[in-house]
Structure 1
């Protein structure tokens, strides 16, 4: 379940696997290989596979590492899944493409990926992942070699995401404050992250039927994706706003300021921090179901992929909670390696999460009358879930 790479400042705001979901840091394609610009139909199967591997390395960093422990076949499928959606994301993200041309490309992207030889060369010269689309015919060839069942999943996801992206672009053309209610906020997160994660789960089920069934766990997976996506939105508020994009719902920020721009006003620090607390409370509401989903995963590799995505985001949230610097500069989380070492099993995750909620409760400000009690209550519920799991594990250990 892991998003495309950390997608910054955009409509389909990081395909949070783009996130998986924000541990993903894309790299610019600077060095086309000797196979560059050779049409896919002139390449051998081995050369196509080699080209796809090179492109994947260049457009993804953390996501590539996340799936590296999967078996070879699953790794290949998941890398192509990522690249196909990253290609669509690159079109959506490119502000040099006129809206009237961008919308039909996004709405028809699920058809374009089924056309052998299709490439796209109309990205602006500075678009980070333009080379992927220049050589997209190679990715399409690999995709078309998959089973019809896998192809159908890819097409369904591309159709849903493309239409979702197009819809939100049209809304933003009318007003940058297009995310009004909490329902709007959740709907946006569903289109840009849940669809990706649910597709990821369906692919996993097809390749490994022993994994938790995606349809049966639909709501749990949706909460996982919401948590990941909302953390991405929270921490990137400043960067998005500076590019005239606002994803925080008016239903939340409107309780604290008259105009969302005031959140960046250094003279309104307390209002900004209280608004951040409200956004944090909303995100925390998805954590218990995320833990429930992790408890259903027996495969250690898949568990680690999903657990890492959630744990890194939660650690990041803990670090920026009540931290005004998030409104002043881009903040990076320095403890990723430490978090990675604690994502091997649910016991370690519970210990880590208990530490996180204690930190949040310690930083929580009693003067924030709207959020203080709600956040503490949320943290206590997460702590209690972890305590119950740890107690159960301890009892099983004693019984043995």
Structure 2
């Protein structure tokens, strides 16, 4: 009786706390009408069930159920979109994510000696076929995926051979690539691209091959590795830029020396308030570099036909561009972690459902950077940024030539939208985007 009462009390307290948090998020977004409406619709209007549908676990093995739990433990944001994928693609991508999360956890763990880590990374793909392998020595926050790797590998071996081949191949290439930067830090901008390719570009390539292998997408999606690579690089560079403070405090340096050495002798110096005038120009340079991948991302997204795959790809990309806009010319990057509001995140999740809305999101957040540059011509490194963001916005506008078919992802037509018509169309896409299925 006492235990039952305690559990009931705890559940009630949890619900109350969740309600309070929701109210706090609503208050944060009250001056942002689109975010406020998105939060209301997400929480009370069925939007949450549409974006994060519940998975029927009755037919799943105990190992697969545990894999879904591990997915939620290690990435709540990706867990939602992964579980919304169609058919057999869902378990394949879930296992792919957990395998790479385990690999990434090994790379991030600074307590593992370099020689041992090198061996682990290079041989990691072979552990997928070893039913007994697990790693119990990690000190990282996501160490559970290494400690319970036997569960993950067991489900990996239940996947179709074509899915297994993709996952093992990417894990092999990623593990080998990661070893190149265990001792040597990222030096040139070209090396920054190379590092990001190994840890994230390969993820985009692997996912694209899984999409095609599932039959939900055409062969073109899986074969164009250049576009798929950019999909990963935009996300990885965004994370590296945003996580500057966390990384340097843990002894990790992922900002390329070619960029920061122009402003300081040590990357760690940027966290000191007296060095902010040197830190911000470097920040702007790296954000501009990351934004160079946007045109490829938009082209890639325009080729996706399956709705669940589209949502899966679009949501992280729109959140990335919103994060870059929040970080641009922002000194807070060097004293805290700059995050977008929950209302923004929900708004982006609900709008990232077709190309009109995705282009409108990129147009909106790139526009925030444009506004900063226009209001203050003295922003460091702003001239180079301006040229790029102007081109991106033009690409977003050009892409608004669509056949408005609300029953499917909108297909591009030959119509060229210009002048006032363009502005009107962009406004409809932005403010009416919630209602396009």
Q: Quick check: TM above 0.5?
A: yes
1:316 and 1:333 in contact (8 A); partners too? yes
Structure 2 stretches lacking a partner, 5+ long: 1-58, 405-411, 417-437
Match of 1:387? 397
Residue among 359, 363, 383 paired with 1:354: 363
Instruction: Give how far 1:231 is off.
Output: 0.7
CA 1:376–1:70 in 2, change beyond 3 Å: closer, same or farther?
Answer: same
Match of 2:50? none
CA distance in 2, matches of 1:52, 1:378: 42
Match of 2:433? none
1:64 to 2:75 alignment: no
Q: TM-score w.r.t. structure 1 length?
A: 0.81
2:304 and 2:310 in contact (8 A); partners too? yes
Indicate the larger mover: 79-88 or 209-218.
209-218
Q: TM-score w.r.t. structure 2 length?
A: 0.75
CA 1:164–1:389 in 2, change beyond 3 Å: closer, same or farther?
Answer: same
2:402 and 2:415 in contact (8 A); partners too? no
1:273 to 2:273 alignment: no
Indicate the larger mover: 191-200 or 93-102.
93-102
Structure 1 stretches lacking a partner, 5+ long: 1-43, 172-177
Match of 1:10? none
CA 1:386–1:392 in 2, change beyond 3 Å: closer, same or farther?
Answer: same
1:212 and 1:296 in contact (8 A); partners too? no
Which structure has the bigger radius of gyration?
Answer: 2
**What RMSD in Å do the two structures reach over aligned CA positions?**
2.2
CA distance in 1, matches of 2:60, 2:318: 38
Instruction: Give how far 1:102 is off.
Output: 1.7
CA 1:72–1:391 in 2, change beyond 3 Å: closer, same or farther?
Answer: closer
Higher relative contact order structure (alpha carbons within 8 Å, sequence separation ≥ 6): 1
CA distance in 2, matches of 1:83, 1:59: 8
Indicate the larger mover: 133-142 or 339-348.
133-142
Mapping of 1:88-167 within 5 angstroms? 88-124=103-139, 127-167=140-180
Match of 2:209? 202
**Post-superposition CA distance 1:243-301 (Å, at most 9, x none):** 22211112211222233233223123222111111111111111111111111112121
1:198 and 1:214 in contact (8 A); partners too? no
2:212 and 2:222 in contact (8 A); partners too? no
Mapping of 1:23-102 within 5 angstroms? 46-102=61-117
2:209 and 2:223 in contact (8 A); partners too? no
Match of 1:338? 347
**Post-superposition CA distance 1:345-392 (Å, at most 9, x none):** 1111122222212210121242246x2221111111111111111145
CA distance in 2, matches of 1:109, 1:196: 16
User: Which structure's residues are more often helix, by fraction?
Assistant: 2
